[in-house]
Structure formats: C-alpha cells, structure tokens
Structure 1
Amino acid sequence: MVHVKVVCVGMKGVDINKLTDPLLTRHLGSSYLKNLGMSLGRAKFQFFERGKKVSELFTHMWRMHADSIVMRAMFPRYIVGANILIIIFKDTKISTFSEMNELIRITREQWGDIPIFLIADLTETRKGSRCNFDEAYLHRFYSNHKCTDLLYLSREENIDMENLFINILGIYDAMRHSCRLNVGSDMRDIF
C-alpha cells in the first residue's frame, strides 16, 4: 500500500471546511484531527481497472486556510513529505495569485516537481460560470508554474470536492504507475 500526503490549501474567501467536510467525514471518518489552523484526515482509496484492483492509496489529507497567520508561518513544515498540493481559490485578484505563487515556490523548493492542482471555486457564483474569472491570466499562471491540472468546482455542473479529490488521486496514481513520480516515503514517520 502506498502512502500519499495531500496538502489542501484554501485561499482567502474559500471556506475550506465547508468544501471538504463531506469528503473528510465520508471517507476519513474517525481518523480526523484539527490543530493549529489545519486539520488532518486519513483514508484508504482503491483503484480498479476492468473490475480488478490495480492499486491502493492510503491518503493523509492536510487542509488549512492560507489567510491564517499560523498557516503562513507553518506552511514550510506542513508541506514536509507532501506528494500532492491542492490550492483552492475563489477570485483572481493579484494578491491571491501572489500568495499562490509563494505557496508554489516554497513547495517546489522543498519537494521539487510534485503534482500541484489549482481548483477554482465557482460554487457561490450566480451561475457557476467560468467567465467570472480572468481566464487568460489564470491559464498563463497555471502553465508558468507547471501545475498538473486546473479544475473547477461548480454546482451547476454538479462537480463537488469529493469527485475532484478522487479524480486527483486517480491522476496521481496514473502518474505514479507511468514512473513519472518518485513515491515511497513512509508517511508514518511524518506524524
């Protein structure tokens, strides 16, 4: 079984608890802990191909608010041993991109080329429309930082955090199997 540490950061204005609580309570259940502006959950996910189990990921999800002072000071420690970074944002203000840039820079400096997923939260927009975002700048930011994928949360398109998280784990698992990722840290050493 492969251990995967996922760090999930909610930028300013994103209610990370509201978005991820259903995922944490359904899959991570009793192994759920809150401490110092962040929370941690663990769960096992299995991936099947043609009815046959091809892999099993034991996932440790760390979630935090980017706008908390504690998080900014502790982020370099929280990211230790991370295999995936997920950044959820609600607006495309320059200050938001500046903060995301800093998180990505710290992550790349410490852990190299780990998969980074950007998620635009459209759940509270009137129509859940992507045109509320400056698409050109967003895509330029995404490609300049060599992020793995740019995803959208949307009520109108019935895309929730649970579906995205399972898709992200599937992408990670496929990358791991194609030998594009170095995997192998024993997550028990981090806790």
Structure 2
Amino acid sequence: MEDSLSALPDYDNPPVNEVVFGIQFNKLENLKAPHTGILWEKLGRKKYPECKEMPPLPHIIESFDRIPSQSPPITIEEFHHPPLPRLFFINVIQNHLIQVQQNRFHQNWRKLKSDDKYPRYVQLYPKFIKSWELFNSFVSEVNIGTLEPNQYELTYVNHIPRGEGWVNLSDVENVFPEFQCKIDDRFLPEPENISWRRIYRLPNDSGRLHVSLRLV
C-alpha cells in the first residue's frame, strides 16, 4: 500500500477537515437494539465513551448501466417496526467516531482545532480495518448473519477558508482548477453563492469519484 501511495502528491499541511472510511453491506435484519450494548463493549466503551443516535443513511449502489443522478434516488420502504438508528460511538477527545447501522459501517477522523494535524491515510486505514474486524467478530459471536459487503467508500472533506488562496468566488479556480467562474463582459455579476458537483467514472468501472464544492 505504501508503494502505491508514494507516487501521489504529499503536502505538509493539507486542508483535510474530515476523512470517512465506509463499507456498505447487505442489511443485517437480525441486528436489533439490544445488540448495540454488546457492540459498544466490543469496540471499547472506555475508548468510545459517548454514543449518539442518528437517522440511518440510505442504501445506495453505484450502477454503471446508466448515467448517475446528481442526488440520491427517492426510495419508499415499508416498515413493520421503527428502523434501527445509525449509532455514533465517539472517542474521548471527539476526533474519532465509528458509525454503525444495519447495512453500513463507517469510521471518521475529524479536525476539531485549527492546529490539529491530519494523521494521513497510512495511519487511519489500519485503524479502520481493525475496527471493521471487531465488528465482523461481533456479528459472528451474536449470530445475527454474515457480513456481505456490496460497496466501499472513502470520503475526504477539505476546508479552505476565505483568504487562503481565494477571496472572491471568481478566485476559486485558483485552488480548484476544475471549477471556472468567468464574469468578464457579462451582464450578470459574480454569483453570491455556489453549489457545484461532478461525477467521474473510474477506469475499468472500478468505481466512481464524486466531487462537490460549496460555500459555507
């Protein structure tokens, strides 16, 4: 893994604000609320002393037989009982968390202070794999099914404050060349806000890259 990463650009202080590793799998119908306490102990309640309930994320599969939508599809599901929430297990200093729902397992690193250093992929990925293995072991021990992954995700959130490479929206292309905002000799002025997205199919249909840009 390190050999393949050595050819990529490396930055002293990248603007990474959050990284999310994720695995989506076929729904574990037998994962119920009583199991979550066992899972919390398995992951380590001392390491992750805080637990929060959040709405579940949608189950989305990348399909290469059609043009992808710019927004998640609208789905209608019939429930005979309330869906199990997505659980956040959060560490002591709040910068690492594990997300679990019936068909997803995610692990986040997030920047909380301006002087927090991004620990890099080569450090975060092994931690994610270790957590995933603990979850796999839990699923086996409580006998609630088999984990069958159907999609893998890696998300980077970069925060570039105004004044660091850009001031006006027309400057954004200086830090993000894919985006262009030409306003010369036009009736319309510079936009007040932007929401921009592109989707790229990776070689050999190995996945998709989703890129979005917005002003916050």
Instruction: Indicate whether the TM-score tops 0.5.
Output: no
- What TM-score, normalized to structure 1? 0.30
Larger Rg: 2
Identify which of structures 1 and 2 has the higher relative contact order when contacts are C-alpha pairs closer than 8 Å and 6+ apart: 2
